[in-house]
Chain A
Amino acid sequence: METVLSIEDLHKSYPSRWGRPPLVALRGLDLEVPRGSVVGLLGPNGAGKTTTLKAVMGLVRPDSGRIRLLGLEVSDPRARARVGFLPEQPYYELYMTPRKLLHYYGRLSGMSRESIAARTAHLLSLVGLEEAADLPVEKFSKGMLQRVGLAQALLNEPELLILDEPSTGLDPLGKIEVRNLLESFRRSGVTVLLSSHQLSEIEEICDRVAIISEGRNVASGALEELLRSRDEFLVSLASPPREGTEPRLPPAAAWTGDRGGVVVPRQSLEAVLRALLDAGLAVERVGPRRMSLEEFFLERVGREGGG
């Protein structure tokens, strides 16, 4: 699969004042974003997510390492011409209106006045800001500002859309709106790299994730593959056992909440299956247990954080 963004061994530290040691943000980060995928960048605060995105957009200069954006060096403006970027909590000059902002950014993207006008009409309708197109943004809520941000990021019909915490500061309704927009981008085949704290958002929208902890990529790949546990299995029963007729299971095995299945470690699988069958229970399916993203995240970040 073609890679639209590849990051190799990226290091970045910020100098501190008064003789303090520099603040290390990235320690050899590697990341790949395949074309057409929606990649979620996860990590605790200070993990290096924003620094990574800024380095990709050429806003910070890495100490070492390599970034290839759409096959070009980051410093090449032609690469940025094909990328849309939504910074964390975007801010605009308060007197500007969405239409004026899109015109300004469109001109800087090298678009003609005609194409800006056409694209502006389409995008403002897409993000639901047609009515507010000529109002100064000082009157806008955070959700509306975020939608302006999404519109400006999509202005140049990007091949890669980079979004830094698109749901930060939004109320539940705003989060749903942003999620719906992201869902529509995914359907239209735009490659998205999305940094977020919202695990549920990532799990719902992304097909790939990369977990960053202490400046390193500690886990990345297709979401389904990552969440499929290699050590635990889920044994699904055709129907739950009647009250008081449950067979004795090895201590490592546990019934699921609805008692319709058993979560079993690999080494106890045979014993559990035997016990269930001996008790006359019909086993419907046996497969690797799918972890929740939260479980996976805590496992990986906890493991890294704990050294």
Chain B
Amino acid sequence: MSKKFTDLLTVAWGVVQDAVHRKVFYAVLAFTVILIFLVPMLPSAEVGVQLDLAREASLGLVSIMAFILATVMGSTILSGEMRKRTIYNTLSRPVSRKGYFIGKYLGILAVLAVSLIVAYLVILALVGVKFGVFSPGLVKAVFAIFLEAAVLAAVAMLASVHLSPVVCILITGLFYVVCHVKGDFLYRTMTDSGHPAVLRGMAGLAYYLLPNLERLNINETVAHGERVFRVGAVEFLLLLGLAATFVVIFLVLGAFILERKDL
């Protein structure tokens, strides 16, 4: 195994260990699991749609959990190491800053993956026990949630190279909102001649530069058994391509900035 690859794994494993020792990680996970168990208590319109609603609400909760974990970890891990100066001990080793940055990111992905697997198993158990239905297809939605969280974590990490954790969380939140409404709101703002040119220009820039995260939201489709639209392998490859493209862009930018930063 090459030294660079070992470095990535070592740094990533450090992030996992760090998460295991953080109470906030367990709090978010436990809170999500409790809320998922409370989902069947929601008032449902008709008995026939209870299952779909339970699945959709549960996936919604998992999306929120992934958003919180990705944003908080992405915003605090690197900036925390810089603030506490533990980064000196690591970067004075024969480790490249690029490798360190990507290793941290991979660690966040590992924590997200474990959390989402736990949440997925909880939903499977809940749906199985409450409705007597086995819904392995939900994994598609959970995977799309993972892809979205991967993009958010990359944004948060990019921001955290220079900004404080609070500002990073705000920026990532704003990014999340803008990227979810872009398909509709930004397009209308961009094309409405009634708006000032500067606003239209900014909306146009955001529309073309930012990813459309709404594409990664397949919770409703999957929760309703893909009766209207089936998410096949091609769609998944496209979603994976979308997420991977933006993750690579944000990571390359973040590593580039970190490489030039005085610590």
Contact = CB atoms under 8 A, between A and B. Distances in A.
B190 to A, nearest CB: 34
A110 B86 contact: no
A81 B17 CA distance: 25
A77 B18 contact: no
A289 interface: no
Interface stretch (A52-60, A122-130, A174-182): A52-60
Given A95-B21, A110-B6, A60 B92 contact: no
Nearest to B260: A61
11 contacts: A14-B262, A58-B92, A59-B263, A61-B260, A78-B94, A85-B88, A89-B85, A90-B85, A90-B89, A104-B10, A152-B89
A92 B93 contact: no
Contacts of B85: 87, 89-91
Interface of A: 14, 54, 57-61, 77-78, 80-81, 83, 85, 87, 89-93, 95, 104-105, 107-110, 152, 156
B86 A92 contact: yes
Given A87-B88, A92-B86, A93-B86, A108 B94 contact: yes
Contacts of A59: 88, 91-92, 262-263
B14 interface: yes
B10 A108 contact: yes
A104 B95 CA distance: 12
Contacts of A104: 10, 14
B110 to A, nearest CB: 16
Interface in B207-263: 260, 262-263
Interface string B70-101: 00000000000000111011111111100000
Contacts of A81: 93-94
Interface in B30-76: none
A80 B84 contact: no
A58 B6 CA distance: 21
A249 B252 CA distance: 76
Contact of B92 (A57, A61, A89, A95): A57
B88 to A, nearest CB: 4
A152 B88 CA distance: 12
B99 to A, nearest CB: 9
A152 B92 CA distance: 11
Given A95-B21, A108-B7, A77 B89 contact: no
- Please report whether the interface of chain B is mostly helix, strand, loop or mixed according to DSSP: helix
B263 A77 contact: no
B6 to A, nearest CB: 7
Nearest to B87: A59
Which 4 interchain pairs have the tightest Cβ spacing?
A77-B94, A85-B92, A81-B94, A108-B93
A58 B21 contact: no
Contacts of B260: 61
A109 to B, nearest CB: 5
Contacts of A91: 84-86
Given A59-B92, A81-B94, 7 more contacts: A54-B88, A57-B88, A77-B94, A85-B92, A87-B89, A93-B21, A107-B10
Nearest to A162: B92
A191 to B, nearest CB: 16
Contacts of A80: 92-94
A104 B14 CA distance: 8
A58 B93 CA distance: 10
A60 B88 CA distance: 11
A78 B18 CA distance: 28
B146 to A, nearest CB: 26
Contacts of A61: 260, 262
A58 B96 CA distance: 10
Nearest to A152: B89
B89 A93 contact: no
A209 B52 CA distance: 75
B117 to A, nearest CB: 24
Nearest to B262: A60
Contact of B263 (A60, A93, A105, A107): A60
A93 B3 contact: no
Contacts of A54: 88, 262-263
Contacts of B84: 91
Nearest to A107: B10
Contacts of A89: 85
Contacts of A152: 89
Nearest to B100: A108
A60 to B, nearest CB: 4
Contacts of B93: 80-81, 105, 108-109, 156
